Structure 1
């Protein structure tokens, strides 16, 4: 929060996304990550099989996730390219089965318009694009269908190698990119209340860049659209506290709480139950919700 206690002014803070309604002035949404890829950096293919991916989505909602994000192509450049049809085969069946099982928000993590359209037809509500709507045709799919979009900063986009990414001022450059891409989205016909932004921690950024983005996140949330942060178990956390991939939960929670205080309103995470507890506590301290089970003994 800028000035310590001033929340960002959010464009259309009360939003209906899919079948759920959110008040981003007083609520943080929790997005669960489910990757149907053999090479995802955290789960290492544990949810690659269809039944495991669906079960992971349903379990995340049972643990308190408001939203599940389903991906079929990792961001990393260290992977073999896959065709559009293969990516569709990875995500659309998961979306369809999860849609039948829950009213939670479903997003598809893709930068390809054909995959986005197939996922939306299967029941997804949001396109989560780590390429910042730079793929021709993607913004048009979102505008035509009325889908929500997450506009994310990256330099190269999914599957593209960027050697030694450098910035003069990472926060101002990321902010400038997001403003430009939001303007592009609006001109393409995407409604303002369908737009979410994400500064893209660790996406073509080193640890110092991601720490600076977190430290000055209020400059990103001040853009005005609900801000999503995807910090969960990322390398900047591991390098900061010297923890391997499977031991970054506490660091992730700490970074997410800082991000909330600086205006983030959607958290993309692997560890849903722990995140739910930390977020509910943070919301209560901020005065956004009361205790769930307060004692009536005042003595």
Structure 2
């Protein structure tokens, strides 16, 4: 297989799934894999790692049995891409990235956007202590949603045992943001808000906390966070109390949101994660973590293509 043909197949494999590419051009999945591998190997060797000042770090589940890939993204405006991915989500996993990235580049990192996974925070403290570590807003609010849903499930079960259907079809009305509700969900939420039940109390606590992200002054925001946590800890909503404790334990990192406000786009990491999951579906047929990494670099790495003598694509 010539390098030009590898380039041809590899470019098509960005547009179609690997299986579709193989079918359309009457070749095998393995041939497409070799073509993509050739492009990725070249791209990783010739990409630029200069000017990287913002990183996003997260993990995605792959295969079955609690297997993960650690994903490191560049988040600089206009250059959002996958920089690195590694097996597992341990401290050593992320330390491997920082070692390969080099201490000089680590010292230039200004902002890091992460969730609250302790092994990641530990690696960052070791290798990029000068960077401002910002806890991702999406992951924080996801914890609120999980707490509300746990309360709703338990309360729904209790109502059902008494033969009542108070929380039927209430899940998405309570979990989604008001502006994203359908007409029927909006009507359902309006009915729920008339009730003095635990699920609604948890929902109202979350909606109240949303104000935190709108404050312009960090000191005012900090006082609001403390007040919200105190009010929540006085309730009987155990899952929400766990959220309050989480916020208190990570307050310094959460408050970094205000130091970087307007610099990092909320949800940037989750947006890239969604593209990664789509890539995994498109590359259906990969048999190992290694081939999965190649698919992710190929689609999300914004890698330079090898030179070619023919304009096939």
TM-score surpassing 0.5?
A: no
Instruction: Answer with 1 or 2: which has the greater Rg.
Output: 2
TM-score (norm 1): 0.31
TM-score (norm 2): 0.30
Bigger RCO of structures 1 and 2 (CA < 8 A, at least 6 apart): 2
Q: Larger strand proportion, structure 1 or 2?
A: 1
Q: Larger helix proportion, structure 1 or 2?
A: 2
